[in-house]
């Protein structure tokens, strides 16, 4: 069973490691993935060996909170920032007089000399009580042998307070470290508040999507309008959506018409018109008009929920880089504690007093919190996936985002990927005696009852020039569809034929006047249908036309150094014609669906890193086989389920953006990890007093706490650049 949980109380990668370690130790658990940025956990487990409550108890035993994620879409809110600010403000109020009393003697300021130490004790104790959550989590993490940030700062503040209290009891005079204990917790809490606010920005895509889901919806039941909660919607309900409201279900419009905005789902800013019989999806917004929609998918089955879930999953799954950072964090805290003790011992050994040595040891602990290390990757991944979602690109996992940067070969399916996926009449050619518009009208009448794709293309072209009433004013009878040749029938008692050259020749109709034009169109990969009747002679050229932005997209990919290949089951002539039109030289044609997988395999065996882009069932195996699978948004469900990236805008132009974004995300992750490691590599020796003998430079615990908070804030802010 796969179950999602919400986890509270995590602050760094060591916290993540502690939760994962505790849950993995639970019988029956096979896999655990914890997201720091989202405060969530996904667990695979054997239902016969354990259950949700056992897993929740394991998390609580590690010092954190957990509850089952119900899966119901709710407004995404961040409570962390308000809670932290609530703790920070009273801490600051107590800290200011505490700092004043500590500095008053040195600065010559007036202060109650006899009782100032006791006042410092009370003020410091108040700050520690307000922020006691650090002790709660820190002690539990030490008990479970998985210490994290809370353990480090608890040790630093706790030792400062206990040692100062000891001095107060035995001799009533300083120097005391009460202000260090208070300052550590106050600055850490401020840093966490700022960090929480910055982290919240990385969730903007999910928040924006969740805001599209109304809390209350209007349904028609028993011929009456009723307002119900979103969670009470059922399949088959008739939902009324008015101007300005979001569509809460996936379904079919049964009444009304409206202009709808799908930009939050696809990134496409141009509104679409929806009429009776049209499919509509959740997350769209009615801009004008109204719709009555028969609900076909509700709640967790809707398109909107699927998108939100996919964005969340991308953040929950870890990249190889992040897994490496987690392993390092597992050893980080014990090593830091060891360095702190060693610092204390060395300074005592060289003759420094205990106060100085303790100050250095505490500074080492405080400056070394692994927050920046833990936030380096997940903040970048979430910001990147949020950026992609705003551009209509869904990412299935963080790992595929990392893999995409290595792609050097892009294999494109033709139909529905670089082309529209629907046949269209591209050319109409007639002899000198035939009226083009009249020929098109008669052809549409002749093809009126056919479901053949060629017939649909002719009817669609006719509707661009004529009103439906113009077409139904005529009637074809004795219509015969001839397999592999075309169609014939009578209109107003006159014979008409539409089909290939063979059909016309069999009925003693010469196509020689248009033979040259037909051959030219066929060489361009188009299908030619001849039309004759009532003195008319002409032809229709039919093809699956190239999408407007395909050529530009391929040009961008080639400029980026990618080798682009067109892979299709179409005839060689058609495939090569499309290839020339869009600028692809390497065209592999006449490939059976089952052979697409083998072609991808062969390319990968050459040492290439391959991305496959497709939209059909016949692309599914190739999408899975490739290093990266990319499905266009109007593709089949099986293709979308097989892909790593889904292009909701149905534009191959977004393929280039996928690779560009991947490189940006990995670059930001590397920058974050570099600065996180450099910060500790430089900060720990300085805090330990490496510059003291040469330059007299030391770091107080107060400065160390400020540096730690700044490092975490830097990492998060750097990741937020990906939102642009």
Catalytic residues: 413
Q: How far apart are CA 459 and CA 374, in angstroms?
A: 60
- Integer angstrom CA distances of residue 227 from 219, 230, 244, 288, 289: 6, 9, 16, 21, 19
Contact 398, 645 (CB under 8 A): no
Query: From the CB of residue 403, how many other CB atoms can be counted at a distance below 10 Å?
Result: 19
> Tokens 């202060």 correspond to what residue?
111
Query: From the CB of residue 426, how many other CB atoms can be counted at a distance below 10 Å?
Result: 17
Measured at the CA of 327, the angle between CA 325 and CA 328, to 5 degrees, comes to 65
Handedness of CA 654, 657, 658, 661 (dihedral sign): negative
| Residue 142, Ramachandran bin (φ over 0: left; ψ between -120 and 50: alpha; else beta) | alpha
Handedness of CA 654, 655, 657, 658 (dihedral sign): positive
Contact 253, 275 (CB under 8 A): yes
Contact 500, 486 (CB under 8 A): yes
Q: Which residues pair with 99 in a beta bridge?
A: none
Measured at the CA of 19, the angle between CA 14 and CA 25, to 5 degrees, comes to 125
Q: How far apart are CA 674 and CA 665, in angstroms?
A: 14
- The tokens of 171 are what? 């001799």
- Cβ contacts of 654 within 8 Å, gap of 6 or more: 391, 392, 393, 553, 647
């Amino acid at each position: 069973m796969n179950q999602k949980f919400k986890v509270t109380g995590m602050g760094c990668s060591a916290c993540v490691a502690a939760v994962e370690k505790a849950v993995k130790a639970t019988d029956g658990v096979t896999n655990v993935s914890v997201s720091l940025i989202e405060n969530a956990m996904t667990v695979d487990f054997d239902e016969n060996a354990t259950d949700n409550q056992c897993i929740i108890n394991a998390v609580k035993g590690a010092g954190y909170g957990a509850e089952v994620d119900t899966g119901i879409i709710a407004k995404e809110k961040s409570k962390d920032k308000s809670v932290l600010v609530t703790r920070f403000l009273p801490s600051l109020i107590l800290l200011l007089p505490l700092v004043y009393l500590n500095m008053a003697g040195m600065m010559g300021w007036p202060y109650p000399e006899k009782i100032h130490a006791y006042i410092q004790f009370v003020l410091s104790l108040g700050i520690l009580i307000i922020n006691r959550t650090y002790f709660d989590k820190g002690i539990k993490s030490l008990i479970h042998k998985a210490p994290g940030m809370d353990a480090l700062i608890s040790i630093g503040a706790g030792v400062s307070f206990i040692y100062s209290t000891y001095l107060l009891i035995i001799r009533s005079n300083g120097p005391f470290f009460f202000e260090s204990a208070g300052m550590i917790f106050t600055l850490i809490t401020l840093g966490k508040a700022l960090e929480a606010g910055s982290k919240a920005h990385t969730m903007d895509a999910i928040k924006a999507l969740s805001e599209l889901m109304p809390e209350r919806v209007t349904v028609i039941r028993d011929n009456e309008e009723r307002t119900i909660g979103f969670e009470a919607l059922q399949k088959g309900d008739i939902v009324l959506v008015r101007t300005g409201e979001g569509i809460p279900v996936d379904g079919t419009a049964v009444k009304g018409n409206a202009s709808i905005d799908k930009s939050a789902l696809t990134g496409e800013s141009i509104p679409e018109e929806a009429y009776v019989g049209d499919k509509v999806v959740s997350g769209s917004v009615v801009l004008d008009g109204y719709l009555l929609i028969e609900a076909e998918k509700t709640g967790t089955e809707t398109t909107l929920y699927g998108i939100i879930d996919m964005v969340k999953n991308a953040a929950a799954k870890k990249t190889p880089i992040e897994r490496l950072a987690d392993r390092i964090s597992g050893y980080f805290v014990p090593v830091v504690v060891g360095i702190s003790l060693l610092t204390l011992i060395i300074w005592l050994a060289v003759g420094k007093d205990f106060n100085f040595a303790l100050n250095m040891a505490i500074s080492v602990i405080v400056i070394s919190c692994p927050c920046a290390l833990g936030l380096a990757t997940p903040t970048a991944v979430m910001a990147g996936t949020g950026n992609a979602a705003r551009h209509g690109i869904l990412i299935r996992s963080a790992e595929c985002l990392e893999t995409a940067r290595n792609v050097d070969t892009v294999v494109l399916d033709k139909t529905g990927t670089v082309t529209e996926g629907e046949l269209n009449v591209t050319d109409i050619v007639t002899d000198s005696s035939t009226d083009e518009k009249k020929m098109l009208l008669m052809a549409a009448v002749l093809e009126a009852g056919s479901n053949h794709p060629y017939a649909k293309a002719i009817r669609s072209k006719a509707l661009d020039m004529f009103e439906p009433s113009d077409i139904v004013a005529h009637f074809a009878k004795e219509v015969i569809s001839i397999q592999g040749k075309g169609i014939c029938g009578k209109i107003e008692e006159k014979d008409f034929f539409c089909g290939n050259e063979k059909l016309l020749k069999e009925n003693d109709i010469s196509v020689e006047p248009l033979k040259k034009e037909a051959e030219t169109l066929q060489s361009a990969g188009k299908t030619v249908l001849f039309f004759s009747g009532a003195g008319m002679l002409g032809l229709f050229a039919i093809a699956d036309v190239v999408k407007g932005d395909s050529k530009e997209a391929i040009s961008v990919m080639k400029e980026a150094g990618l080798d682009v290949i067109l892979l299709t089951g179409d005839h060689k002539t058609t495939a090569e014609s499309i290839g020339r039109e869009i600028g692809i030289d390497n065209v592999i044609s006449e490939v059976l669906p089952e052979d697409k997988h083998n072609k991808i395999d062969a390319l990968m065996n050459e040492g290439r890193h391959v991305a496959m882009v497709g939209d059909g069932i016949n692309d599914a195996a190739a999408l899975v086989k490739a290093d990266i699978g990319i499905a266009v948004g109007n593709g089949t469900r099986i293709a979308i389920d097989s892909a790593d990236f889904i292009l909701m805008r149905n534009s191959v132009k977004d393929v280039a953006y996928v690779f560009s974004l991947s490189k940006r995300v990995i670059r930001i992750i590397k920058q974050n990890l570099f600065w996180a490691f450099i910060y500790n590599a430089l900060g720990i020796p300085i805090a330990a007093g490496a510059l003291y003998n040469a330059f007299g430079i030391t770091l107080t615990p107060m400065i160390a706490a400020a540096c730690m908070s700044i490092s975490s804030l830097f990492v998060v802010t750097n990741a937020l650049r990906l939102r642009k």
